[in-house]
Amino acid sequence: MKIYDQHLHSNFSFDSEENIENYFLNNENNIVTTEHMDVANPVTGKNDFPDYPSYDKKIKELNEKYNNRAYKGIEIGFFPEKEEETLKYLDGKTYALKLLSVHHNGKFDFMDDIVTTLPIDQVLDDYFNRMIQALESDVSANVLAHFDYALRKLDVTPEQLDSYAKKYLDKIIHLTVGKEMSLELNAKSMYLYGNEKLYSYMVEKYIGLGGRLFTLGSDAHSLDQYGNKFDKMREFLLKYKISEVAEYTNDLKMRPLR
């Protein structure tokens, strides 16, 4: 069994058309889809909540067909102004894996082109303050996803990131470690958007402040992206003498990197 991909989306997410069952074709791995939940999403102009009853039903059907290898997951796109609505949606629902992320500020998504026209310090102040609010909130999660989401369209070096955001990142890491959450290595961020050096900076800081839990995520929105660049991310972690990754299948297990 290969390393468990712990960040992927299906047609239960607003921005994916991939049939969830396709991830099981020619694949013996456990599968968890982390469907988008974004309150007041400026991309769609509405609350995007996965259809939980339909999703739950589909996961049960897949488990009957594929030997109990299907797990429910969610990517909680946190928006502090709507924390109450987020908690209300999550109440009473069960997930094997919950990612925590920040995608927008209510006016624009942090991957909209507008971020390239704004001062970098303004974008990062807004983004990382929201991430701190997410980690300090009452929303529980297992993994901090793509810490660099707002940096994907910006040309920022590790030195600049340290200059602009060290005070935020130190606090983000302390909160992540304190809550025993994993830090995600996001293949799309690292290799599609070219942010591997920023991940080197963050991982060194995370390990230095006591962090030990990591997950690997492709951030796939289609089958062809599933498990993308996992060999490179494995070698990346081994350089830091990290030989295990966290796996969430209702509870936390540690899986050797192989």
pLDDT at 130: 98
- pLDDT above 70 covers what percent of the chain? 99
Confidence of residue 3 (pLDDT cuts 50, 70, 90): confident
Listing DSSP states for the chain in one string gives: -PPPP--B--TTSTT----GGGGGTT--S-EEEEEEEEEEETTTTEEE---HHHHHHHHHHHHHHTTS-EEEEEEEE--GGGHHHHHHHHTT---SEEEEE--B-SSSBTTSGGGGGS-HHHHHHHHHHHHHHHHHSS---SEE--TTGGGTTS---HHHHHHHHHHHHHHHHHHHHHTTPEEEEEHIIIIIS--HHHHHHHHHHHHHTT---EEEE--BSSGGGTTTTHHHHHHHHHHTT--EEEEESSSEEEEE--
Cα–Cα dist 114/55, whole Å: 34
pTM: 0.97
Q: For residue range 98-117, what is the model confidence (pLDDT) as tens digits?
A: 999 999 999 999 999 999 99
Residue 2 has pLDDT above 80, yes or no: no
Q: Residue 242 pLDDT > 60, yes or no?
A: yes
Instruction: Give the pLDDT confidence score for residue 250 in this predicted structure.
Output: 84
pLDDT tens profile 61-82: 999 999 999 999 999 999 999 9
Q: Which of 10-14, 238-242, 249-253 has the least mean pLDDT? A: 249-253
pLDDT value of position 187: 98
Mean pLDDT of 235-258: 93
pLDDT at position 258 over 90: no
Q: What is the pLDDT of residues 179-189, one digit of tens each?
A: 999 999 999 99
> Tens digits of per-residue pLDDT, 24-44?
988 888 999 999 999 999 999
Task: Give tens-digit pLDDT for 44-63.
Answer: 999 999 999 999 999 999 99
Beta bridge partners of 245: 255
Whether the predicted pLDDT of 1 surpasses 60 = no
Convert the pLDDT of each residue in 146-176 to its tens digit: 999 999 999 999 999 999 999 999 999 999 9
Mean of all residue pLDDT scores within the chain: 96
- Burial of residue 237 (number of CB atoms within 10 Å: 0-12, 13-18, 19+): middle
Residue 142 has pLDDT above 50, yes or no: yes
Residue 257 has pLDDT above 90, yes or no: no
